Structure 1
Amino acid sequence: MNTATPSVQRKYFTKPTPTQARFAFVILLIINILNYTDRSVLAAVQILIQKEFGLTDIELGLLNSSFLFIYGLSTLPIGIWADRGVRKNIVAICVTLWSIATALSGMTHNFIQIFLTRSVLGIGEAGYAPASVSLIGDYFHKEKRGLMLSIWSIGNLIGTAIGLIVGGIIAEALGWRWVFYVVGIPGLLAAFFIWRAVEPKRGAFDREGDNSSNDAAAAHGSIGGNILQVIRQLLKTPTYWVLVAAFICSFFIIGAALSWVPTFLSREFGLSISQAGTISGGVLAGGSLVGTLIGGWLSDFLQRKMPEGRMIITTIAFLTGAPLTWVALSMHQLAAFIAVFSFAIICLSLCLGPIQAIIQDITLPEIRSTAVGLALLLGHLLGDAASPLIVGLISDSTHSLGFALQITGPTCLLLAGLICVIGVKTVPKDMEKMRKHLNEEYNAS
């Protein structure tokens, strides 16, 4: 039963106009960029922090893992909250929290203090992804979601690139503490703007012709509030669990790479902090921009031809990215590494938009935030939460960070690709099942 008053329903659960959707999307894209900027600056300056605090590679890995572990634990409950509350307000609260935590990281003076601030950062950032993916799904028609989510996903690596590049430059010029001060402040302004955006009606473009008072928020509150019921529904969707398994494998190497690539470049090729950050950030930004846009367009094109189109692109991305990553990490010349690694990033980025759109395609609108939250919870806890620490352990044991990355990264990406092969077979049935459910629901209303 929907307990919201009619005035609240009219204010918060509306079908957005194109102008309102574009405004909110731009703000969400900016926040996503800030999201990854805040989380990536540690990798840009951790060599300086390691020197000042006297840390081992294991402790550096633990700093990165602390954020990811708390991020993973927090994603599901906040995702459930997003399936019950006003999503734009949840995003605003989370952005404010992580921005303050980032700024406080610059005031730390020992391992415990920075460990705590990075952990709080995870709580704030955990609430953003489920709510934002759900919002974008309701701001745009389902035929455009692949492209819009691909553009939104560009913020992941653009933000990472900004964090690595700007972080390294500011650290060399002003010291590593100023990096956290500078990148933490813009989030507060972005939080205000998303708070002023329009909250779209749940499933606004899924239930075509739905102009009745039977607001999707009713089911939304009851289903999102019962995680066991949501899980029972998801257990009937094999493709969802294929994506979860792929998330786990791919998140492992993503967490390790974002934490260690600048340090790897500095150690392997003798680069300065700013040089390592600029190269790693530039490769990520350029490669991801090309790959994500191509992947979004290509997946939407194939999706119009066949129901498994987006899953095919996702599978290709992992299976081509795995060997390219292995070859790149085998290179001992900087120019060769940059060339191969850039191509690997392009291939891997093909899946960023499609994999998010697939979740939208196979889950009901009222449980999407919870579905995304559960996928991220398992992906982070079983994937990237421990990967920075594991890579640090292998690095300290073998005295080779490159070896640690090379034996973990390509293996996990190959597994992700093989798992997605299964999804190519299951996704058509799951999409058809959801379509029938929505049609039955609409006809019943």
Structure 2
Amino acid sequence: MTTSPRPVVVSRRYAWVVFALSFGLLLSDYMSRQVLNAVFPLLKAEWQLSDAQLGSLSGIVALMVGVLTFPLSLLADRWGRVKSLVLAAVVWSLATLGCAVSASYGQMFLGRFMVGVGEAAYGSVGIAVVLSVFPVTLRATLSGAFIAGGAFGSVLGVSIGGVVAEHLGWRWTFAVMGIFGLVLAAVYRVVVTEKRLGRAGTGGGDRAPVARRELVRVLVPRLFSSVSVRCAYVGSGLQMFIAMALLAWMPSFLDRYYGMPPAKAGLAAGVFALITGIGMIGGGIVTDRVSRRLAARKWTVAIVCSAGSLVLLTAGFQLPAGALQLVLIGAGTLLSNATAGPAASMVTALTPAAVAATAMATLTLANSLLGLAPGPAVTGLLADRVGLLGALQLVPLAAVGAAAAFAVGRRTYERDVLRLGLRTATTGGPSAAAPTTHTEAQT
């Protein structure tokens, strides 16, 4: 039975403290994840690693995030979200410290594996805690800021990692990130408590298990019940493949083809990571504006971004090293993951409100299995065979599949939304058949 949402039971000031600390842990999450990319050249030289091995060290984190997001998020709901967040931060921070003392590729791989285990559910559980203490009117803004935090954490991880590696060695890059995460986890444990958050923030066990099982049984199959939503998952994941390949290998590209030392390459690669984040935010803003009157235009935005990234990146990596090449690569990077906002909007419009969070988790899973995990690893495999530049020349071809998926999704979109009775096909607003109340109010 639908009831009204529980009122926020914390002060506005404390709510912003919760946001700041949760955002800080998100930065730590991505800093620990992406710092590896800044020291690729150093690891390759010291341990004589192949590019495929380097790519696997990056890809294993994303793979574990994709595989474990669902079960660990469910456990967090039952055990307590705040306790789960603190434990997750401790796990990924200790694992990052373990990477600092690794003596071989195998030990480093195990450390990165555990980083992925720790980070698996942070995104979904962290945003749930944040949204639980703010008014509904701020949810879109806070969600957007949280997503962008991943890009900013990547910038900091690559940039700071490169500087620390040049002055103190690559082991200290992992040590600094691990210590930062442990300090934040300790502060979070003291300041943010489930008692102070109130029951709205705990996510804990007062939900009727029978009602939850019935909701899952009836509505979860609708996460895949239309051609359009499946196309959104595939298109988003393929574009993520390009963005993550660039993020992982840009420091090595700048080191090998521009002769940049690790510190300078890390800072320059950080700029490209920042451009990716700007593209994500910009893509969402443009989508909201152009699809106000005709919801199907969000698909057009995604198609344009996919095609643009294909043309710009292909042209850029074909040019000789120089300013023009970097400009074209930067422009392509801007569009490479600008499809994230349109894809999330598509999935939201094509799935029942009662499983909106699960739909976003499904999109995250698609992004992980199609993009975050294979992007760096496949690029490394290709680099061993055709060189890193040759591999990066092939990576943008994933946009062909993404654009095709978005094009197919656009063709079936209006028919699917009308058939499912979720939204009107022209405005994207709620249809008469669909309740407008968001399901977070149902529990």
Matched, 1:414 2:403: no
Which residue of structure 1 aligns with residue 427 of structure 2? none
Matched, 1:253 2:242: yes
Which residue of structure 2 aligns with residue 438 of structure 1? 435
Alignment RMSD: 3.7
Which residue identity lines up with residue 268 of structure 2 in the other structure?
I
| Structure 1 segment 44-443 matched on structure 2, within 5 A | 44-82=38-76, 84=78, 86-135=80-129, 145-192=139-186, 196=192, 198=197, 201=200, 218=207, 222-223=211-212, 231-236=220-225, 238-285=227-274, 287-288=275-276, 290-308=278-296, 310-364=298-352, 367-398=355-386, 400-408=387-395, 410-424=396-410, 425-426=413-414, 428-429=417-418, 431-432=422-423, 436-439=433-436
Q: What's the CA shift string for 1:143-162, capped at 9, x where partnerless?
A: 76554433222222221111
Asked if structure 1 preserves the Cα contact closer than 8 Å seen for 2:243 and 2:333, the reply is no
Query: For 1:22 and 1:265, how far apart are their aligned partners in 2?
Result: 39
Distance 1:135 1:241, change over 3 A: farther
Which residue identity lines up with residue 402 of structure 1 in the other structure?
L
Distance 1:113 1:381, change over 3 A: same
Query: For 1:145 and 1:314, how far apart are their aligned partners in 2?
Result: 23
Comparing 158-167 and 255-264, the one that deviates more = 255-264
Comparing 110-119 and 260-269, the one that deviates more = 260-269
Q: What's the CA shift string for 1:350-404, capped at 9, x where partnerless?
A: 3344434554555456534433333333432344323333222222122x11111
Q: What's the CA shift string for 1:30-68, capped at 9, x where partnerless?
A: 332222211111111021112222212222122222222
| Structure 1 segment 20-35 matched on structure 2, within 5 A | 21-35=15-29
Asked if structure 2 preserves the Cα contact closer than 8 Å seen for 1:149 and 1:357, the reply is no
Asked if structure 2 preserves the Cα contact closer than 8 Å seen for 1:79 and 1:372, the reply is no
Comparing 59-68 and 354-363, the one that deviates more = 354-363
Distance 1:298 1:58, change over 3 A: closer
For the residue of structure 1 that corresponds to 2:435, the secondary structure is: helix
Asked if structure 1 preserves the Cα contact closer than 8 Å seen for 2:155 and 2:273, the reply is yes
Aligned length: 422
Comparing 170-179 and 136-145, the one that deviates more = 136-145
Distance 1:298 1:201, change over 3 A: farther
For the residue of structure 2 that corresponds to 1:432, the secondary structure is: coil
Q: What's the CA shift string for 1:11-48, capped at 9, x where partnerless?
A: x9654665555443333333322222111111110211
Distance 1:267 1:441, change over 3 A: closer
Comparing 428-437 and 64-73, the one that deviates more = 428-437
Asked if structure 2 preserves the Cα contact closer than 8 Å seen for 1:44 and 1:165, the reply is yes
The offset of 1:187, in angstroms, is 2.2
Query: For 1:444 and 1:160, how far apart are their aligned partners in 2?
Result: 36
Distance 1:265 1:129, change over 3 A: same
Gaps of 5+ in 1: 2-11, 203-214
Distance 1:164 1:364, change over 3 A: same
Which residue of structure 2 aligns with residue 210 of structure 1? none
Which residue identity lines up with residue 149 of structure 1 in the other structure?
S
Q: What's the CA shift string for 1:53-93, capped at 9, x where partnerless?
A: 22122221222222222222212212333555543443332
Which residue identity lines up with residue 313 of structure 1 in the other structure?
V
Query: For 2:124 and 2:185, how far apart are their aligned partners in 1?
Result: 16
Distance 1:382 1:365, change over 3 A: same
Asked if structure 2 preserves the Cα contact closer than 8 Å seen for 1:83 and 1:221, the reply is no
For the residue of structure 2 that corresponds to 1:350, the secondary structure is: coil
Query: For 1:80 and 1:415, how far apart are their aligned partners in 2?
Result: 33
Query: For 1:220 and 1:255, how far apart are their aligned partners in 2?
Result: 38
Asked if structure 2 preserves the Cα contact closer than 8 Å seen for 1:146 and 1:297, the reply is no
Query: For 1:43 and 1:309, how far apart are their aligned partners in 2?
Result: 36
Query: For 1:107 and 1:113, how far apart are their aligned partners in 2?
Result: 9
Which residue identity lines up with residue 254 of structure 1 in the other structure?
A
Asked if structure 1 preserves the Cα contact closer than 8 Å seen for 2:349 and 2:423, the reply is no
Identity %: 24
Gaps of 5+ in 2: 425-429
Query: For 2:389 and 2:198, how far apart are their aligned partners in 1?
Result: 46
For the residue of structure 2 that corresponds to 1:307, the secondary structure is: coil
Query: For 1:309 and 1:134, how far apart are their aligned partners in 2?
Result: 29
Query: For 1:216 and 1:308, how far apart are their aligned partners in 2?
Result: 39
The normalised TM-score by structure 1 is 0.81
Asked if structure 2 preserves the Cα contact closer than 8 Å seen for 1:147 and 1:300, the reply is no
Asked if structure 2 preserves the Cα contact closer than 8 Å seen for 1:147 and 1:353, the reply is no
Asked if structure 2 preserves the Cα contact closer than 8 Å seen for 1:245 and 1:419, the reply is yes
Query: For 1:255 and 1:171, how far apart are their aligned partners in 2?
Result: 22
Distance 1:311 1:90, change over 3 A: farther
Asked if structure 2 preserves the Cα contact closer than 8 Å seen for 1:223 and 1:229, the reply is no
